[in-house]
């Protein structure tokens, strides 16, 4: 797990490469980012949360987790659940298939969590997006919030894209090349710049 830089290090870095991020860091305060495990639960929760409100996601995930009689969701016990019980928890047929596919990938060792520390970002993304219902954005959120990878730029994130468009005078729908060029200034702390931008937007 990479060591997170302190605020002094971040300010020194961004003063040299992008003063706009310095202003964001000073407005938000100390970085609050820590590893998030267990990985299977994190990814299952991400699938449950897709395309619904935060409140609805918490309710449905709570019902789903409650199906395991005091245990946390795990690949084996997820695969053993009937579709009917999962449906009664509020999960759609599509999300049930996604959760079962996630469980299968973990059970069969297709997601090699023990090797994550030695794998680069793209290799991890490549494994995760093989699961039904996990796209690149979800995989990037996993890299940032679970593995604390420091140099991830989720260019499909709407909040990040809107902030960049406003603060760098980009056209209304900036393309990937433009966004990556700005992110390259932040290297090797693209994830951290992104986190601060989100934190600022969240107030």
Q: Reply yes or no on whether 83 is catalytic.
A: no
d(C-alpha 162, C-alpha 148), whole Å:
23
Category of 32 on φ-ψ map: left (φ > 0), alpha (ψ -120 to 50) or beta: beta
Could you please report the per-residue DSSP string of the chain? -PPPP-HHHHHHHHHHH-HHHHHHHHHH-S--------HHHHHHHHHHHTTS-HHHHHHHHHHHHGGGTTSPP-HHHHHHS-HHHHHHTT--HHHHHHHHHHHHHHHTT-S-GGGGGGS-HHHHHHHHTTSTT--HHHHHHHHHHTS--S----TT-HHHHHHHHHHTT--SS--HHHHHHHHHHHTT-HHHHHHHHHHHHT-
d(C-alpha 108, C-alpha 188), whole Å:
34
d(C-alpha 3, C-alpha 22), whole Å:
20
Q: Which of 6, 18, 151, 157 is catalytic?
A: 157
The residues carrying an active-site annotation are 157
């Amino acid at each position: 797990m990479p060591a997170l830089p302190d605020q002094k290090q971040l300010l020194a870095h961004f003063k040299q490469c992008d003063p706009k991020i310095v202003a964001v860091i000073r407005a938000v305060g100390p970085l609050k980012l820590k590893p998030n495990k267990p990985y299977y639960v994190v990814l299952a929760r991400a699938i449950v949360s897709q395309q619904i409100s935060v409140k609805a996601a918490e309710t449905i995930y709570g019902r789903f987790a409650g199906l395991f009689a005091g245990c946390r969701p795990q690949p084996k016990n997820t695969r053993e659940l009937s579709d009917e019980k999962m449906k009664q928890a509020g999960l759609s047929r599509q999300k049930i298939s996604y959760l079962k596919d996630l469980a299968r990938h973990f059970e069969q060792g297709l997601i090699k969590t023990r090797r994550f520390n030695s794998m680069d970002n793209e290799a991890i993304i490549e494994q995760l997006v093989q699961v039904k219902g996990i796209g690149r954005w979800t995989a990037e959120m996993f890299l940032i919030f679970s593995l604390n990878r420091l140099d991830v730029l989720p260019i499909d994130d709407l909040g990040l894209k809107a902030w960049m468009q406003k603060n760098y005078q980009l056209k209304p729908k900036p393309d990937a090349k433009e966004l990556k060029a700005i992110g390259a200034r932040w290297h090797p702390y693209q994830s951290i710049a992104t986190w601060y931008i989100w934190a600022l937007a969240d107030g």
